[in-house]
């Protein structure tokens, strides 16, 4: 009986890796066959960038350096006591198309008015309320994201197709690895998450996302992110994704809209990376549990299967076939990396491959298993100094590094 268990685990692990290879090939096909159409008239766009804590000027300069031929404005939004506010206000005085608006602190909002929503969602809501009445498209970009100069123009280009069912379009993201193996594993984990951008109802990533204003209003998306409509109070991209899918709208991954994140100056710790990835998965788990389960069974259970097969290989050597799974994962990692980084318009943005690359996919799958096992037991989420449950704001975590000192 134990013999068959080893063989079955090896077979399932290999099938799991091959399934992701098929998804990666579909993503590659999507990228290679992207039509790259351009609108005759570019719509008026409001770029919304929620900020938290000390800003990275490189990211701000990249947002303001967009080569966009249509009318556009940028709204940076933060709270009154946030460390980013004094820096952002300088940009508001220097650029005519830049606004800095101040949103309520959601901990105080929950205490005083009984309104529960995440700080990021609250910032997005405030920015939308402050946007120009002439705006035709809302574009969202995260504070830690650095876009290329053609990001905005390419992001809205699908509007040229005139598809009335197109609800939102999204970017791909790449984390540049920093110091240490943990940083490489996080970068690999993010690369793997880009697999699920494909399809007509693929994953939407709020750090590089655009929605026509007409769709935003017709689909009543404000009610999905304001925390008052019965939906989970999580990141806006998951709530919007669910709402658009239910109403029959399509989503679209735009390959030419790759964005990246600079690595931090300090060495990233394993515990911080586990917390970060768990938080990302928790957002998904709280909104689309069935999709989370299906994707997890495909991608997050592979490593236990491999380890089980290797244990059986002590007695039944043919179970060593399970080692094909991590080898396939290495190939998949390199394929995704090459597919996405070829889209970068500069050679400066690259992964400098080294010996760690061989072990990165294995450890990434192990991290995915940790996410799969631990996330269902989470009842609270810590995010940028605030603690949340699925439905409420709990309070501050004690980490006030985002505040003005």
User: What was the pLDDT predicted at 334?
Assistant: 84
Q: How many CB atoms lie within 10 A of CB 220?
A: 11
Percent of the chain predicted with pLDDT > 90: 51
Predicted confidence (pLDDT) at residue 398 exceeds the cutoff of 70: yes
* Residue-range domains of the chain with CATH: 10-395 (3.90.550.10)
Average pLDDT along the chain:
88
pLDDT exceeding 70 applies to what percent of the chain? 95
Q: How far apart are CA 237 and CA 277, in angstroms?
A: 16
Contact 255, 336 (CB under 8 A): no
User: Residue 40: is it exposed, middle or buried by C-beta count within 10 angstroms (0-12/13-18/19+)?
Assistant: exposed
Biggest distance spanned by C-alpha atoms of the chain: 73
Encode pLDDT of 148-161 as tens digits: 999 999 999 988 87
The SS3 assignment for 11 reads helix
pLDDT of residue 205: 85
pLDDT tens figures, 354-374: 555 667 888 898 999 999 999
Task: Please give the residue that has the higher pLDDT: either 313 or 353.
Answer: 313
pLDDT digits (tens, 9 = 90+) for 237-253: 888 888 898 899 999 99
Answer whether residue 353 shows pLDDT above 60. no
* 8 A C-beta contact, residue 81 and residue 404: yes
Are 74 and 95 a contacting pair, CB within 8 Å? yes
Question: CA angle at residue 343 from 46 to 198, to 5 degrees?
Answer: 75
Q: Using only the alpha carbons of the chain, give its radius of gyration.
A: 22
Average pLDDT in the 27-53 region? 89
Give dist(CA 154, CA 239) in Å, integer: 24
CA atoms within 13 A on the CB side of 329: 31
Choose the weakest-confidence range: 95-109, 113-127, 305-319, 383-397: 305-319
Q: Which one has a higher pLDDT value, 64 or 351?
A: 64
Asked if pLDDT for residue 63 goes beyond 70, the answer is yes
pLDDT at residue number 350: 59
Query: What global pTM score does this model have?
Result: 0.92
Give per-residue pLDDT as tens, 263-292.
888 888 999 999 999 999 998 898 888 888
Which pLDDT does position 348 carry in this prediction? 54
3-state secondary structure of 399: coil
Q: Is residue 162 over pLDDT 90? A: no
At 104-128, the pLDDT tens digits run: 999 999 999 999 999 999 999 999 9
pLDDT at 351: 60
Would you say 361 and 332 are in contact if contact means Cβ atoms under 8 Å apart? yes
In this prediction, residue 352 carries a pLDDT of 60
More confident residue, 299 or 386: 386
- How far apart CA 210 and CA 156 sit, in angstroms, is 7
Q: Is 335 helix (H, G, I), strand (E, B) or coil?
A: helix
Cα–Cα dist 248/190, whole Å: 28
Return d(Cα 40, Cα 166) in angstroms, integer: 18
Q: What is the pLDDT of residue 298?
A: 81
């Amino acid at each position: 009986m134990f013999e068959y268990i080893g063989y079955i685990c090896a077979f399932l692990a290999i099938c799991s890796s091959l399934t992701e290879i098929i998804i990666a090939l579909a993503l590659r096909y999507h990228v290679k066959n992207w039509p790259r159409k351009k609108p005759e008239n570019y719509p008026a766009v409001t770029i919304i960038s929620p900020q938290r804590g000390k800003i990275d000027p490189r990211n701000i300069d990249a947002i303001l350096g967009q080569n966009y031929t249509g009318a556009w404005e940028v709204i940076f939004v933060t709270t009154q006591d946030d460390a980013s506010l004094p820096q952002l206000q300088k940009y508001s005085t220097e650029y005519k198309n830049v606004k800095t608006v101040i949103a309520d602190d959601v901990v105080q909002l929950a205490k005083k008015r009984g309104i529960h929503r995440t700080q990021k969602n609250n910032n997005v809501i405030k920015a939308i309320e402050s946007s120009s009445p002439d705006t035709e498209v809302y574009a969202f970009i995260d504070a830690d994201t650095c876009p290329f100069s053609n990001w905005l123009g390419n992001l809205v280009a699908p509007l040229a197709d005139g598809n009335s069912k197109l609800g939102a379009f999204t970017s791909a993201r790449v984390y540049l690895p920093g110091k240490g193996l943990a940083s490489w594993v996080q970068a690999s984990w993010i690369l793997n998450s880009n697999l699920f951008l494909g399809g007509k109802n693929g994953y939407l990533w709020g750090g590089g996302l655009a929605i026509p204003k007409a769709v935003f209003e017709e689909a009543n998306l404000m009610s999905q992110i304001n925390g008052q409509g019965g939906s989970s109070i999580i990141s806006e991209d998951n709530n919007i994704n669910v709402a658009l899918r239910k109403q029959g709208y399509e989503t679209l991954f735009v390959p030419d809209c790759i964005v990246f994140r600079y690595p931090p100056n300090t060495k990233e710790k394993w515990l911080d990376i586990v917390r970060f990835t768990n938080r990302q998965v928790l957002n998904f788990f709280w909104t689309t549990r069935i999709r989370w389960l299906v994707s997890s069974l495909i991608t997050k259970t592979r490593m236990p299967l491999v380890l089980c097969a290797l244990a059986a290989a002590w007695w039944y050597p043919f179970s060593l076939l399970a080692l094909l799974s991590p080898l396939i994962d290495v190939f998949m990692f390199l394929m995704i990396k090459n597919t996405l980084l070829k889209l970068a318009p500069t050679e400066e943005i690259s992964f400098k491959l080294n010996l760690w690359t061989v072990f990165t996919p294995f450890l990434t799958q192990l991290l995915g298993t940790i996410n799969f096992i631990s996330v269902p037991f989470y009842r609270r989420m810590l995010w940028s100094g605030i603690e949340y449950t699925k439905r409420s704001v709990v309070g501050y975590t004690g980490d006030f590094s985002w505040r003005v000192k």
